[in-house]
């Protein structure tokens, strides 16, 4: 495994949060065995917390107001 392997359990916190300070990416592409691709945040970088908060804010606004801005 290389130092940017997102599936390496050494780079996760509590088994669900990706945390790798050696990986320069804030948002990382993840692939699994069924060829499905999704993205995750690298919480070792501060900008990831901003992106996660922004995403939660958009989701909360959609739930509260029932529509997109």
pLDDT of residue 53: 94
pTM above 0.85, yes or no: no
Query: How do the domains of the chain map onto residue ranges?
Result: 9-65
pLDDT of residue 29: 80
**What distance in Å separates the CA atoms of residue 33 and residue 36, rounded to the nearest whole number?**
7
For the stretch 17-43, pLDDT in tens is 888 888 888 888 877 676 777 888 888
Is pLDDT of 4 > 70?
no
**What distance in Å separates the CA atoms of residue 51 and residue 27, rounded to the nearest whole number?**
9
For the stretch 42-68, pLDDT in tens is 888 889 999 899 999 989 988 888 866
């Amino acid at each position: 495994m290389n130092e940017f392997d997102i599936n390496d359990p050494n780079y996760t916190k509590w088994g669900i949060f990706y945390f790798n300070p050696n990986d320069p990416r804030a948002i990382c592409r993840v692939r699994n065995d069924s060829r499905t691709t999704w993205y995750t945040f690298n919480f070792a970088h501060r900008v990831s917390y901003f992106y996660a908060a922004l995403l939660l804010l958009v989701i909360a606004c959609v739930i509260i107001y029932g529509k997109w801005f």
